[in-house]
């Protein structure tokens, strides 16, 4: 899975911080919830742990 | 055993009852993603739903839903793997894997981790250009999130000929299967693999955890990537309790589609109708246009939502609010106070969005 340019997003309606990660996944714009049950989020964390990916802070 | 006694035994074991197949979309009738070409690396669900293809450094492949099926068996579709760029040299880390992952909470009837643990039978129809050994693996996760695996093999006897294979899956009386919505069991075809996976003594005798990676795959397997003539077709995949491969359980398309949509749902591409829309009437600059997008079934987990292209109408900055398993709120920012604003997936036959909660 090719994950590029991940950045945390804040929820504009609830105010929840880092509720998801915006990234390009296999060429598509994706919004990955920070939910441990979500396999894309697990893969992002795996790549972060491996030192091959960094998640930018929310704007 | 008489036919009557055999039937009584099957009813007693539960095998003759409906919903016996633990595999979803075993007849390959649902393929929301369509055909995926030029797969060279990585992991993903690309062709018929629920089947996961993993490749590393073994040519280029196309994954699609095919109408080539074994005759007289009642199937309409198969999964087709087509090698489009060959690789005749299998590097140590190379692999070519096809797999289905099953939720742990759908497997508790197996009673693994107890003395009453049920054995399984895995059956399928396969047609391959290459003859020879294919390695398979059963891997399950217990309630402590430790993975246990053991392998087996089968043989493609004749090139480009449909063959029905039946594999016995031993029970694990020592370790249970996690009872939640995560990955409880993997059933895996190791089509080709390098020495990182084949270099040790192939483990076929027991479920083990923490074993060396090079014991997971048989060293007898062949290289399915060595020619662009190579194709593999698969259908009629069934995993059921017991030690008998019963007739494939054909399922109505609505039931199979709903099962698949628990893991993946796609909006479009539609040739003419826009989808995934949200609009607000004229209100103000920089206000949110938003709408709740409901999923057809509750998904396994809060899904990733992605799009190939968004079409804006007097708006920009598409995003998602906090989601649930059955719905998510999408939004964009209005750029005009005087006209309707919003965003959508265009009905142009190309653009699409998806919600993904695959294992």
Residue-wise pLDDT for A8-30, tens only, equals 999 988 999 999 999 999 889 99
Structure tokens given for B332: 């964009």
Q: Which token pair is A37?
A: 């049950």
pLDDT-derived band at B13 (thresholds 50, 70, 90) equals low
Average pLDDT, chain B: 93
Task: Flag whether pLDDT at B19 surpasses 90.
Answer: no
Please give the C-alpha separations between residue B8 and each of B13, B17, B238, B239, B243, in angstroms, as whole numbers: 9, 12, 21, 20, 15
Confidence class of residue B161 from pLDDT cuts 50, 70 and 90? very high
Mutate to test the interface with A, among B102, B321, B328, B352 (most CBs of A within 10 A): B321
Q: Which of A20, A37, A38 sits opposite B320 (nearest CB)?
A: A20
Residue B225's pLDDT is what?
98
Stretch A1-5: mean pLDDT, rounded? 91
Q: What does the alpha-carbon distance between residue B138 and residue B141 come to, in Å, rounded to a whole number?
A: 10
- Look at residue B270 and tell me whether its pLDDT is greater than 70: yes
The three-class DSSP label of residue A58 is: coil
Distance (Å) from the alpha carbon of A9 to chain B's nearest alpha carbon: 9
H or E segment and range at residue A45: helix A39-49
**Which of A7-16, B21-30, B143-152 has the weakest average pLDDT?**
A7-16
Compute CA B268 distance to the chain's CA centroid, rounded to the nearest angstrom.
Answer: 20
Predicted local confidence at residue B109, as pLDDT: 97
Strands B327-334 and B311-313, how do they pair? unpaired
Tell me if B302 and A16 make a contact (CB, 8 A cut-off): no
Could A32 and B182 be called an inter-chain contact, meaning their C-beta atoms sit closer than 8 Å?
Answer: no
Shortest distance between the Cα of A8 and any Cα of chain B, in A, equals 12
Burial of B239 (C-beta count, 10 Å sphere; 0-12/13-18/19+):
buried
d(CA B16, nearest CA chain A) in Å: 34
pLDDT of B144 reads 98
The one-character DSSP state at B21 is -
Please provide the DSSP assignment of B263-300 as one string: TEEEE---SS--EEEEEE-S--TTPEEEEEEE-SS--S
- Residue B6 has what pLDDT? 64
Closest residue of chain A to B329, computed from CA coordinates:
A13
How would you label B112-145 residue by residue, b for 16+ Cβ within 10 Å and e otherwise?
Answer: bbeeebbebbbbbbbbbbbeeebbbbbbbbbeee
Whether residue A30 and residue B302 make contact (CB cut-off 8 A), yes or no, is no
C-alpha distance from B163 to closest chain A C-alpha (Å):
33
Say whether pLDDT at B315 is over 80. Answer: yes
Determine the pLDDT at residue B7.
61
Q: Which residue of B has its CA nearest to A18?
A: B322
Tell me, rounded to whole angstroms, the distance of Cα B115 from its chain centroid: 30
Can you give the pLDDT at residue B244? 95
pLDDT at position B102: 98
Nearest to B304 among A13, A19, A31 (CB): A31
Q: How many CB atoms lie within 10 A of CB A40?
A: 24
Put simply, whether B357 touches A (Cβ < 8 Å) is yes
Q: Is B36 exposed, middle or buried (0-12, 13-18, 19+ CB in 10 A)?
A: middle
Mean pLDDT of all residues in A25-53:
95
Residues of A in contact with B323 (CB under 8 A): 20, 33
Is the pLDDT at B231 greater than 60? The verdict is yes
Closest residue in A to B357 (Cα) is A38
Is A40–B308 a contact, with Cβ atoms under 8 angstroms apart? no
Mean pLDDT of the region B68-84: 97
**Do B306 and A29 touch, CB atoms closer than 8 A?**
yes
pLDDT band at B1 (very low <50, low <70, confident <90, very high): low
Q: Kindly state the average pLDDT of the residues B106-114.
A: 98
Q: What is the pLDDT of residues B273-307, one digit of tens each?
A: 998 888 887 777 778 888 999 999 999 999 999 99
Cα dihedral B171, B172, B176, B178 sign = negative
**Longest alpha-carbon distance in chain B:** 80
Q: Which residues of B touch A27 (CB under 8 A)?
A: 308
Which chain B residue is nearest to residue A40, measuring alpha carbons?
Answer: B304
* Per-residue pLDDT band at B171 (split at 50, 70, 90): very high
Q: How confident is the model at residue B322 (pLDDT cuts 50, 70, 90)?
A: confident
When pLDDT is averaged across residues B251-270 and rounded to a whole number, the result is 96
Share of chain B above pLDDT 70, in %: 95
The pLDDT of residue B8 = 55
Q: Which residues contact A40 (CB under 8 A, 6 or more apart)?
A: A1, A25, A30, A32, B304, B356
Q: Which residue among B302, B310, B320 places its CB closest to the CB of A35?
A: B302
Rounded CA-CA distance A20/B54 in Å is: 26
pLDDT at res. B297: 97
Task: Look at the block and give the residue holding tokens 């017991």.
Answer: B242
What's the pLDDT at B10? Answer: 57
pLDDT(B17) > 90: no
Nearest CB to B301; choose among A11, A20, A37? A37
Tokens describing residue B125: 């129809």
Q: How far apart are CA A49 and CA B274, in angstroms?
A: 40
Cβ pair B233, B127 in contact under 8 A: yes
The answer to whether the CB atoms of B356 and A40 lie below 8 A apart is: yes
Q: What is the mean pLDDT of residues B253-268?
A: 97
Q: Which two tokens stand for residue B279?
A: 């609009």
CA dist B232 and B210 (Å) reads 31
């Amino acid at each position: 899975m090719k994950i590029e340019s991940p950045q945390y997003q804040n929820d504009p309606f609830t105010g929840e911080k880092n509720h998801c990660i915006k990234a390009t996944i296999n060429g598509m714009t994706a919004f990955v919830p920070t939910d441990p049950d979500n396999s894309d989020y697990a893969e992002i964390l795996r790549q972060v742990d491996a030192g091959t990916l960094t998640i930018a802070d929310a704007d | 055993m008489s036919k009557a006694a055999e039937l009584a035994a099957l009813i007693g074991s539960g095998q003759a009852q409906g919903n016996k197949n633990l595999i979803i979309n075993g007849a390959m009738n649902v393929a929301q993603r369509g055909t995926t070409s030029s797969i060279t690396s990585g992991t993903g669900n690309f062709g018929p739903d629920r089947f996961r293809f993993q490749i590393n450094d073994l040519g280029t492949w196309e994954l699609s839903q095919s109408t080539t099926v074994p005759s007289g068996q009642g199937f309409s579709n198969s999964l087709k793997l087509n090698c489009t760029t060959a690789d005749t040299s299998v590097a140590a880390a190379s692999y070519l894997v096809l797999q289905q992952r099953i939720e742990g909470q759908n497997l508790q009837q197996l009673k693994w981790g107890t003395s009453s643990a049920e054995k399984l039978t895995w059956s399928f129809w396969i047609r391959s250009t290459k003859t020879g050994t294919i390695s398979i693996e059963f891997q399950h996760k217990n309630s402590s999130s430790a993975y246990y695996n053991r392998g087996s093999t089968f043989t493609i006897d004749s090139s480009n000929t449909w063959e029905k294979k039946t594999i016995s899956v031993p029970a694990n009386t020592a370790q249970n299967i996690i009872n939640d919505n995560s990955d409880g069991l993997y059933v895996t075809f190791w089509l080709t693999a390098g020495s990182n996976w084949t270099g040790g003594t192939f483990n076929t005798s027991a479920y083990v955890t923490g074993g060396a990676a090079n014991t997971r795959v048989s060293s007898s397997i062949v290289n399915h990537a060595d020619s662009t003539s190579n194709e593999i077709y698969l259908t009629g995949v069934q995993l059921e309790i017991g030690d008998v491969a019963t007739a494939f359980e054909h399922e109505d398309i609505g039931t199979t589609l709903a099962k698949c949509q628990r893991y993946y749902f796609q909006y479009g591409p539609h040739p003419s109708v826009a989808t995934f829309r949200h609009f607000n009437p004229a209100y103000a600059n920089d206000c949110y246009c938003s709408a709740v997008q409901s999923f057809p079934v509750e998904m396994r987990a809060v899904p990733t939502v992605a799009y190939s292209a968004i079409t804006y109408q007097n708006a920009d900055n598409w995003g998602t609010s906090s989601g649930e398993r059955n719905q998510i709120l999408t939004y964009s920012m209005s750029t005009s106070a005087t006209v309707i604003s919003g965003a959508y997936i265009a009905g142009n036959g190309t653009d699409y969005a998806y919600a993904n909660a695959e294992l």
